[in-house]
Amino acid sequence: MIVILRQPSCKPGVCPPTLRSTTPYQPRREASGVRVLVIGGTAFLSRAVAEIALARGHEVVCLTRGTSGDPPPGATHVRVDWSVPDPDPQLRGTFDAVIDVARRPYRGVRLLTDRMYDRAGHWTFVSTCLVYRDRSTPGATTDAELIAPDGGGPYAPSKLASEQAVRLRFGTRALIVRPGLIAGWGDPSDRFGYWPERLARGGTVLAPGRPEDLIQWIDVRDLAEWLVESAERRRSGTFDAVGTPVGIGSALGSMAAALDVPSELVWVPQEFLHSAGVVPWSGQDSLPLWVRRPDDAGLMARDPLPTLNNGLRLRALADTARAALAWERALGSHRERKSGLSPARERAVLDLWRAGAR
Ligand SMILES: NC(=O)c1ccc[n+]([C@@H]2O[C@H](COP(=O)([O-])OP(=O)(O)OC[C@H]3O[C@@H](n4cnc5c(N)ncnc54)[C@H](OP(=O)(O)O)[C@@H]3O)[C@@H](O)[C@H]2O)c1
């Protein structure tokens, strides 16, 4: 049974700033499941969060426009567009936890946290590892220097401004999570999935850089599980959500072994790839999991230990690769990719490389 012990102490969004560091919200004591608001809930990470929260016995409300489909069965759907100036959500009651996953403008974060600060027991905000200034140093932690926040700016500065808005209103009730590359079922970016899809086709595979170059990722299910578990425990602070860095050669080898399709990796140096017009990281004509070195050598080599020591559990790469491949196949292998090389382009770059190497 869900019992709300206390109603809001003042109208959301109109309390004076001094009140904002207090904790008007009182958690329920008797419920086995708690009431969770997921900002998002119909796509990729936010959907996984909603699914896991439901599976763990929580009451789940998902806030989306409704253009990405429905939330998982069992969740309540509140339809709101956070890109409009005053979305006026039809949200009722209090929430033990808000897990704010959806990528959306700072303005929306401000509005929602203003409205909800006294109606939420705990607030998780999903940010990004791109908020760090230095991208070149492997092993960095959340102590590293940050970029300048900018609420009206592009993705990363706006995420950082949003983090600050969440901290201002929720203080010790706030958990800020900065994921690196998220992988698995539902990934809309076509990045990680490029590799299992490519390796499953077998043959000669163009591999970027050097096998020992470090990469890291986090399975969407592991991240979602940790977000829900952290909300249950009311974990606070700031964490990077990343997997253990490994050499890209070892990672591609493990994926190929898991998919059990023979392939040969041909390692092509980054300088050649740049000159051939292949782009690192993401986008058309890119090779995902490849970053510019040394400038971005730390981007996929952050220190996962603080988060692992706080309960994050990581599954085997084979599991993530199979899930990502299943998603690739659900999307269709012949689609135009947002990231990765087409088979023809990969062949052309390999031919160029071999011609130069002779
Ligand atoms: N992918 C990565 O590798 C990566 C890495 C680091 C951090 N992140 C962060 O991880 C999160 C990923 O979230 P996600 O997978 O759930 O995908 P998302 O694209 O950030 O959010 C999708 C969800 O938000 C809803 N939504 C989008 N725009 C909305 C709007 N204007 N008003 C109301 N709802 C809206 C969508 O439903 P409707 O479309 O129906 O509205 C959907 O449920 C993001 O915060 C992202 O910045 C991602």
Measured from the Cβ of residue 93, the count of other Cβ atoms closer than 10 Å reads 12
Residue 69 CA: nearest ligand 1 atom is 40
Do 226 and 291 fall within a single domain? no
* 31: pLDDT strictly greater than 50: no
CA of 3 to the centre of ligand 1 (A): 30
* 16: pLDDT strictly greater than 60: no
CA of 291 to the centre of ligand 1 (A): 24
Q: What CATH number is attached to the domain comprising 331?
A: 3.90.25
Do 108 and 212 fall within a single domain? no
Work out the average pLDDT over 307-325. Answer: 98
Q: Find, among 297, 160, 182, the residue nearest to 242 by Cα.
A: 182
Q: Lowest-confidence range among 24-28, 124-128, 266-270, 330-334? A: 24-28
Alpha helices in the chain (DSSP H): 44-55, 106-116, 155-170, 194-201, 220-233, 248-259, 270-275, 305-308, 317-331, 343-357
* 55: pLDDT strictly greater than 60: yes
CA of 57 to the centre of ligand 1 (A): 23
pLDDT band at 21 (very low <50, low <70, confident <90, very high): very low
Do 115 and 160 fall within a single domain? yes
pTM, 2 dp: 0.92
Q: Identity (one letter) of the amino acid at 335?
A: R
Q: Any idea which residue has 């409704």 for tokens?
A: 66
Q: Identity (one letter) of the amino acid at 351?
A: D
User: Quick check: CB of 87 below 6 Å from ligand 1?
Assistant: no
* 102: pLDDT strictly greater than 90: no
Q: What CATH number is attached to the domain comprising 109?
A: 3.40.50.720
Work out the average pLDDT over 322-349. Answer: 96
Side-chain half-sphere exposure of 74, counting CA atoms within 13 A: 15
**How many domains are there within the chain?**
2
Mutate to test the pocket of ligand 1, among 47, 65, 135, 338 (most ligand atoms within 8 A of CB): 65
Do 223 and 196 fall within a single domain? no
User: Quick check: CB of 314 below 6 Å from ligand 1?
Assistant: no
Extract the tokens encoding 225: 């599980």
Q: Which residue's CA is the closest to the ligand 1 atom numbered 45? A: 103
Work out the average pLDDT over 343-352. Answer: 97
With respect to residue 207, please indicate whether it lies within any of the assigned structural domains: yes
Do 201 and 342 fall within a single domain? yes
* 106: pLDDT strictly greater than 90: no
Do 113 and 208 fall within a single domain? no
User: Quick check: CB of 156 below 6 Å from ligand 1?
Assistant: no
pLDDT band at 358 (very low <50, low <70, confident <90, very high): low
* 19: pLDDT strictly greater than 70: no
* 7: pLDDT strictly greater than 80: no
Do 192 and 145 fall within a single domain? no
Do 326 and 337 fall within a single domain? yes
Do 168 and 265 fall within a single domain? no
- What secondary structure letter does DSSP report for 295? T
Return the pLDDT at 89. Answer: 73
- The torsion angles phi and psi of 112, rounded to 5 degrees, stand at -70, -40
User: Quick check: CB of 123 below 6 Å from ligand 1?
Assistant: no
Q: Which residue's CA is the closest to the ligand 1 atom numbered 42? A: 40
User: Quick check: CB of 128 below 6 Å from ligand 1?
Assistant: yes
User: Quick check: CB of 56 below 6 Å from ligand 1?
Assistant: no
Work out the average pLDDT over 124-152. Answer: 97
Task: Dump strand ranges (E) for 49-202.
Answer: 59-64, 76-79, 97-100, 123-126, 174-179, 182-183
CA of 210 to the centre of ligand 1 (A): 33
Expressed as residue numbers, the domain containing 107 is: 32-182+219-241
With respect to residue 7, please indicate whether it lies within any of the assigned structural domains: no
Return the pLDDT at 26. Answer: 53
Q: Lowest-confidence range among 86-100, 116-130, 180-194, 255-269? A: 86-100
Do 288 and 228 fall within a single domain? no
With respect to residue 347, please indicate whether it lies within any of the assigned structural domains: yes
Q: Lowest-confidence range among 18-32, 121-135, 210-224? A: 18-32
Distance CA 216, CA 198 (A): 18
Mutate to test the pocket of ligand 1, among 63, 64, 240 (most ligand atoms within 8 A of CB): 64
Mean pLDDT of the chain: 90
Do 207 and 346 fall within a single domain? yes
Distance CA 50, CA 101 (A): 10
Mutate to test the pocket of ligand 1, among 51, 52, 68, 86 (most ligand atoms within 8 A of CB): 68
* 86: pLDDT strictly greater than 80: no
Return the pLDDT at 88. Answer: 73
